[in-house]
Structure 1
Amino acid sequence: MGDVENMPLLAGVPLAAATLQVIAEDAGVDILHIKGAAVDEVLLGRAEVTDPDTGETTSVVVPRSSLDADILVRPSHVKRMFAAMSAHRWTMVYRFEDGSAFEHASTWIRPGLCHADIHRSFPGIGLASEEAFDVLWSGRHSITMAGQPCPVPSLPAQRLVLILHAVRGGVLSSPDIDRAWGAASADERAEVDALALSLRAQVALAAGTGRLEEHRDDRAYPLWKALSGGDTSRTLLWWARVRAQPDPWLALRTAVHLVAPKPDRLQRELGHKPGVLQIARAWGHQLGLAASELGRLAGRAAARARRPQ
């Protein structure tokens, strides 16, 4: 197979998705294709194209730009999926723990194909991952990508996923939100609200739909307030992530994980497995950033306190 760099992404991403689908089916793994090439045409942009010969103008769908194939795997099937992918020359680049603060996706690569993000959960959904997958799986339907039938979430679920993704990135002006919510009818919005309720995703959805203040008393409010506002303060995001956890053990684990250096990322940066000294330096760097951020926050608080009321 040729070099993926020479393959247009509009062809490469669906091909990677179709490949993953065949691997999953052979291994008896349940997967749902999300975002990217899997998004329903209703939720895509459109452009007016004029025929140079006839002068006739028509509206055409603008394909979604995507760099990789995204799939959501039934959590109890993740190990089986990873084993099957490894057997087909896919290589893990980042573990779940080395990805985002939500530890929700693992990145894989394979020669000749686009990268793949393997999700075991989706940020913003508070329901237990296996139960959440059941909810999304129950409403699935199939689309064809690169000639292969691929299961995707229901249209309301796709709307929800796109909104949550945009909110996590702090892009409330995203066209995804405009199309998934702004252009939706009252009935379509009600369907998304009902699904968010069943998935415990109300707070994250509210952050993307102008209703976050209705959830001020929710423990997840500070997190989605910070994320939706594009807050870049490491310390504020750290505290919001910790506070959003449902129990003390998860809060403690999250607190440590967010500060700890990521060995796999460090190894890729160095080009070799990090030694004890290099890991210690990475810890020092992380703690130094935290201390610096705390100093800035303390300075801001002091400045606010000195302002005349």
Structure 2
Amino acid sequence: MPLLAGVPLAAATLQVIADDAGVDVLHIKGAAVDDALLARRTVTDPETGAVTTRLVPRSSVDADVLVRPSHVKRFFAAMSAHRWTMVYRFEDGSAFEHASTWIRPGVCHADIHRTFPGIGLAAEQAFDALWADHHTIDLAGHPCAVPSLAGQRLILILHAVRGGDLTSRDIELAWTDASADERAAVDALAARLHAQVALAAGTGRLEDHRDHRAYPLWKALSGGDTSRTLLWWARVRAQPDPWLALRTAVHLVAPKRDRLQRELGHKPDALQIAKAWGHQLGLAASELGRLAGRAAARARRAR
């Protein structure tokens, strides 16, 4: 099935499951984006010469759904009952542990989000804020819940920034081309969601937040920094309390169980897990060595 049809179909399927289970979900990115945030192209009829403007559909390989955090377990149980299978847990996804990947025969896969990177407000409260102004659109002929236009703008910008793509068409459409009132609405929502630093990273205002604990992280992410050690330290520093900082520090180094199992084709044994730990620690040591070498070279040049 072409993705242009498969993604909305997967989204509609997830919405039906959520409705039946009494689960609140918001469709984000991909096929759920408002027409106002889509690119446009002009098309000239070869026979008549008439020029028309057409929307350019977003290219997406999966359906992205943000679930009310307190409803996640119920939603996962309902998805499992409808032949969806979890591929990656939250803990085995990105460093933010924000999304779990699921697959089902016959439709494209789905990323089930419990949070969204860049939003610092507690997950349940953040969902409440996005849910408060939601509305519905038709996806594959079924009404699906989506955030407000300001919410969609914010999510697209945060997504682009996390990927280090500050020249993203999404940022251009969601921010650069937005009116002053539209930008103000995004800023206001970002303040409610504690997402000001990440938003600033995508809108040329990051230096206004130099003293914020999350500044180094969004500076590195928005700049496409690939240093494992620098990103590790930035993520740890961005945590709001010592316990979360310690947990993050360990999690980022620990091998990802589900990813290791998929690579091996079977559940890893103790020896394979130990080897994976050794590999991860070896990468960290190598990165530290390179950083130390660079620092020493800079010091020599500065003499």
Q: TM-score, normalised by structure 1?
A: 0.97
Deviation for aligned residue 1:105: 0.1
Deviation for aligned residue 1:50: 1.1
1:83 aligns with 2:77: yes
How many angstroms apart in 2 are the aligned matches of 1:105 and 1:298?
Answer: 34
1:275 aligns with 2:289: no
1:265 aligns with 2:259: yes
Q: Which amino acid aligns with 1:75?
A: P
- Superposed CA deviations along residues 150-203 of structure 1, whole A, max 9, x for unmatched, are 010000000000000000000000000000000001111000000000000000
SS in 2 for 1:122: coil
1:128 aligns with 2:89: no
Q: Which residue of 1 aligns with 2:139?
A: 145
Q: Which residue of 2 aligns with 1:4?
A: none
Residue 285 (structure 2) aligned to one of 279, 284, 291: 291
- Superposed CA deviations along residues 48-91 of structure 1, whole A, max 9, x for unmatched, are 11112211011100000000000000000000000000000000
Residue 167 (structure 1) aligned to one of 154, 161, 181: 161
1:254 aligns with 2:248: yes
Q: Which residue of 2 aligns with 1:3?
A: none
SS in 1 for 2:302: coil
Residue 63 (structure 1) aligned to one of 57, 71, 79: 57
Residue 112 (structure 2) aligned to one of 118, 125, 139: 118
SS in 2 for 1:266: helix
Q: Which 4+ stretches in 1 moved above 4 angstroms?
A: none
How many angstroms apart in 2 are the aligned matches of 1:206 and 1:307?
Answer: 34
Residue 224 (structure 2) aligned to one of 225, 230, 253: 230
SS in 2 for 1:114: strand
How many angstroms apart in 2 are the aligned matches of 1:180 and 1:75?
Answer: 26
Q: Which amino acid aligns with 2:125?
A: E
Deviation for aligned residue 1:308: 3.4
How many angstroms apart in 2 are the aligned matches of 1:291 and 1:199?
Answer: 36
Q: Which residue of 1 aligns with 2:186?
A: 192
Q: How many residues align?
A: 303
Q: Which residue of 2 aligns with 1:48?
A: 42
1:24 aligns with 2:38: no
Q: TM-score, normalised by structure 2?
A: 0.99
Residue 32 (structure 2) aligned to one of 28, 38, 57: 38
Q: Which amino acid aligns with 2:98?
A: H
How many angstroms apart in 2 are the aligned matches of 1:35 and 1:285?
Answer: 35
Q: Which amino acid aligns with 1:106?
A: S
How many angstroms apart in 2 are the aligned matches of 1:71 and 1:22?
Answer: 13
Q: CA RMSD in A?
A: 0.6
Q: Which residue of 1 aligns with 2:173?
A: 179
How many angstroms apart in 2 are the aligned matches of 1:249 and 1:28?
Answer: 34
Q: Which amino acid aligns with 2:151?
A: A
Which shifted more, 46-55 or 32-41? 46-55
How many angstroms apart in 2 are the aligned matches of 1:231 and 1:108?
Answer: 29
How many angstroms apart in 1 are the aligned matches of 2:158 and 2:7?
Answer: 22
Deviation for aligned residue 1:251: 0.3
Q: Which residue of 2 aligns with 1:208?
A: 202
Query: Which structure 1 residue ranges, 5 or more long, are not aligned?
Result: 1-6
Q: Which residue of 2 aligns with 1:156?
A: 150
- Equivalent residue runs for 1:4-15 within 5 Å: 7-15=1-9
Q: Which amino acid aligns with 2:201?
A: A
Percent of matched pairs sharing the same residue: 83
Q: Which amino acid aligns with 1:165?
A: H
SS in 1 for 2:107: coil
SS in 2 for 1:272: coil
